[in-house]
Amino acid sequence: MIIEGIELFGGQLTEKLKIRGGVSLKGEVSIGGAKNAVLKLMAAALLAKGESKIYNVPELTDVQIMLRVIEGLGVKTKYDKVNKTVAIEATDITSITAKYELVSKMRASFIVLGALVSRCKEAIVALPGGCAIGERRVDFHIKGLEALGAKIKIENGYVHAKATKLHGADIYLDIPSVGATENLMLAAVMAEGATRIQNAAQEPEIVDLANFLNTMGADVSGAGTSEIVINGVKQEDLHPIEYATIPDRIEAGTYMAAFITTRGKGIIKNVMPSHLTFFNSKLIKMGANIKLLEPSVIEVSCKQRLSAVNIVTQPYPGFPTDLQSLAMAMLTTADGVSIITESLYENRFMQVPELRRMGADIHQERNHALVRGVKKLTGANLKASDLRAGASLIIAALMADGVSEIESLHHIDRGYENFEEKFRNIGADIVRYNDDIVEPKLLQEGKYNEASI
């Protein structure tokens, strides 16, 4: 994919997926590093002088955008595709400005605000962009930074934060915002005294960030609970490190959904089951079988039609909003009626019109969706509106009778590494192609030549 003249991981905007549904998926799949963790670890690497290395980094467009954001600060970076490693040499930061053309493409890059304020005591960062799933304001970030002693101006689409020095503070978040928790953790690392973030987000990615910072020499405790305490340290206390990112729980949930909805059986490796406890409980209520084979290996299967369940998205450890669209796709052919309530983002039902085009019976009213299970879905031409909605359309297409085509793959490439290859390896009849170049044949027709795509 090309964004603002920069070549990124992923495909061109004219690329599409063609999927023939009705194939029972079987085999093994290995989960990559967590997108929502590694992007924040890359920003955290800015705090220590020297070269830090991050392992288990997925090949995603979002990773490449974050690399460009960091390079724009005068920091040297290198991505090793073979070993899935990012090296960040942050001895010198020559710019405090994260520019609009990149930050506006990916909300997570706003995390450099906290890192720059901590390290340089000043930052100029564009207001964030990303998937259009609803309002995600930066008020909590700003109020928290002000509590730490930063002076904030917002003008011309940029946040300008400046502090003579930062000091510890007690900060209460009105909602457990993941981004605000992470930004304030980074900002507080070198603040004088202790900072307490109350009603903090508790996601596994928050814990991973805290572990990264502590390995670097910071003093962070309480991550994974509603109160995080950061005792400020000095710049010279921080040192570059080598660190491996946790597995991506959302990617794991996606492949679990694929095996289950196609009535297949699969082994998923490099997964942390404890990160998916609530999701797993709902899958079991639907009728799926989940077996722990090893601490980081699970087996999932399902032989019968799924049963309806009700779902309410909640901050971690509740049901993840990032898996809501996948659950909806699964429930479109379940026995009975399901009610899904999206309590976090007002526009997170953007997959609904596309699922209806496949024959799904979904009635939506504000943040509630009533899903009445139908006998089957049928293939259709579909368009991904955002990352997670796009993933749900892949699941729906794998379930459906006939052939589906999905466009706007750049959304899906933001969060899923080599996903069509991984799906083919477990038996999916799926092809990526460029609409301007070739009209491919599907695998089952025996005429697909990957080299020609």
302 noted as active-site residue: no
Measure the CA–CA gap between 422 and 426, rounded to whole angstroms: 7
Q: Which residues contact 195 (CB under 8 A, 6 or more apart)?
A: 148, 168, 169, 170, 171, 184, 188, 229, 230, 232
**Which pLDDT score, from 0 to 100, does residue 452 have?**
34
**Which pLDDT score, from 0 to 100, does residue 124 have?**
96
> Which tokens hold the place of 155?
């003008």
Total domains, the chain? 2
HEC profile of 59-108: CCHHHHHHHHHHHCCCCEEEEECCCCEEEEECCCCCCCEECHHHHCCCHH
Cα Rg of the chain (Å, integer): 22
Measure the CA–CA gap between 245 and 42, rounded to whole angstroms: 10
254 and 382 fall within a common domain: yes
Measure the CA–CA gap between 190 and 172, rounded to whole angstroms: 19
318 and 371 fall within a common domain: yes
| Residue 336: CA count within 13 A, CB half-sphere | 11
Cis, peptide link before residue 317, omega less than 30° from 0: yes
238 and 279 fall within a common domain: no
238 and 254 fall within a common domain: no
Residue that finishes a domain, picked among 244, 275, 293: 244
240 and 296 fall within a common domain: no
14 and 41 fall within a common domain: no
**Which pLDDT score, from 0 to 100, does residue 444 have?**
59
**Which pLDDT score, from 0 to 100, does residue 442 have?**
73
Q: Which of 73, 103, 116, 131 is catalytic?
A: 131
379 and 423 fall within a common domain: yes
Measure the CA–CA gap between 314 and 169, rounded to whole angstroms: 27
Q: What is the CATH number of the domain that holds 48?
A: 3.65.10.10
Q: Which residues contact 302 (CB under 8 A, 6 or more apart)?
A: 259, 260, 261, 263, 264, 286, 287, 288, 289
Q: What are phi and psi of 39, to 5 degrees?
A: -65, -35
Q: Are 27 and 266 in contact (CB under 8 A)?
A: yes
219 and 86 fall within a common domain: yes
3-state secondary structure of 303: coil
| Sole residue written with tokens 């909003």 | 321
270 and 305 fall within a common domain: yes
pLDDT in tens, the chain (453 residues): 334 434 454 455 679 999 999 999 999 999 999 999 999 999 999 999 999 999 999 999 999 999 999 999 999 999 999 999 999 999 999 999 999 888 888 888 899 999 999 999 999 999 885 444 334 468 999 999 999 999 999 998 899 999 999 999 999 999 999 999 999 999 999 999 999 999 999 999 999 999 999 999 999 999 999 999 999 999 999 999 999 999 999 999 999 999 999 999 999 999 999 999 999 999 999 999 999 999 999 999 999 999 999 999 999 999 999 999 999 999 999 999 999 999 987 778 999 999 999 999 999 999 999 999 999 999 999 999 999 999 999 999 999 999 999 999 999 999 999 999 999 999 999 999 987 665 666 765 544 444 333
**Which pLDDT score, from 0 to 100, does residue 345 have?**
77
**Which residues partner with 15 through β-bridges?**
434
277 and 414 fall within a common domain: yes
Residue that finishes a domain, picked among 184, 212, 244: 244
Q: Are 200 and 176 in contact (CB under 8 A)?
A: yes
224 and 285 fall within a common domain: no
Sheet strand arrangement including 26-30: 26-30, 265-269, 297-301, 289-294
343 and 263 fall within a common domain: yes
Give the β-pairing of 297-301 and 97-98: unpaired
On whether the pTM is more than 0.85, the answer is: yes
Residue that finishes a domain, picked among 205, 226, 244: 244
Query: What's the distance, CA 312 to chain centroid?
Result: 19
The whole domain housing 125 covers 35-244
Q: Are 360 and 332 in contact (CB under 8 A)?
A: yes
